[in-house]
Amino acid sequence: MKISELFYSIQGEGKRTGYPSFFIRTNFCNLRCKFPGGNLCDTAYTSWFPDDEDNIGVMEISDIIKAYKQYVASDVVITGGEPAMQEEDLYDLCLQLKAFDKNIFITLETNGTIYGQFAELINLISISPKLKSSVPFSSKYEKVHSEIRINPGSLKEYHSNFNEGLYDIQWKFVITQENDIDEIFEIKKLIGFENKNIFLMPEGITNEQINKKRKMVIGLCKKYKMNYSDRLHILLWGNKRKV
């Protein structure tokens, strides 16, 4: 698989915040994000700059399993980049993780644009659809990446199989401004998920930026009976690798 980094930390976002987790961060993404304040996504080294020399590169799945065996954390988080781009390898990775530890809990963090057979091996699908506020305006990616951010067919597939009990799911949205909620309701109406499965998270790559948006985002959560997610890893260690 194409891997950016492997590390042991705690989950900093969503319903499993605080769980000790082994992170498998894949390299490359099919989207680019740039927010109104100028921030790129917080793992730009996997998307905007996938050739960063600090990224691991191609790695055998057996070697990923060996790295995991050093920690044997009950939780494994497969993130990116966009892991679903490597659909067949992702399936094999999950299969081998489950074979090693039948009690393992696997979270897949995805933008939801790609659905694959790998989903049947995941315990929690964490879908973070990219809103219009993350379109990379004034970049070479602006036009094409503004058109492919939401894939209704893929999102409906994830939601349908959640309803069938295949896995748990959370819909996680990065909030930059109050009117982002209007687009979330548009997506919700299109796909059919419930407010109780939605997590809202303030956009920011520093404590100061997150602090400025926190009360606004919590206000939206209270108003619409949605869940709040902070970014615990950034608050503790800052926006850097392996946290």
Q: Over the stretch 125-157, which tens digit does the pLDDT of each residue have? A: 999 999 999 999 999 999 877 788 999 999 999
Alpha-carbon distance 166 to 233, whole Å?
29
Task: Give the start-to-end residue ranges of the domains of the chain.
Answer: 2-237
Read off φ and ψ for residue 175, nearest 5 degrees.
Answer: -105, 125
pTM for the model: 0.96
Name the residue type at position 17.
T
Question: For 23-37, how does the pLDDT look when each residue is reduced to its tens digit (9 = 90+)?
Answer: 999 999 999 999 999
Three-state secondary-structure class, residue 110: strand
Name the residue type at position 24.
I
23 beta partners? 7, 77
Q: How many CA atoms lie within 13 A of 76 on its CB side?
A: 30
E strand intervals along the chain:
2-10, 20-26, 57-58, 75-79, 105-110, 124-127, 168-175, 198-202, 227-228
Read off φ and ψ for residue 40, nearest 5 degrees.
Answer: -85, 175
CATH, domain range 2-237: 3.20.20.70
Question: For 160-184, how does the pLDDT look when each residue is reduced to its tens digit (9 = 90+)?
Answer: 999 999 999 999 999 999 999 999 9
* CA nearest to 198, candidates 188, 210, 190: 188
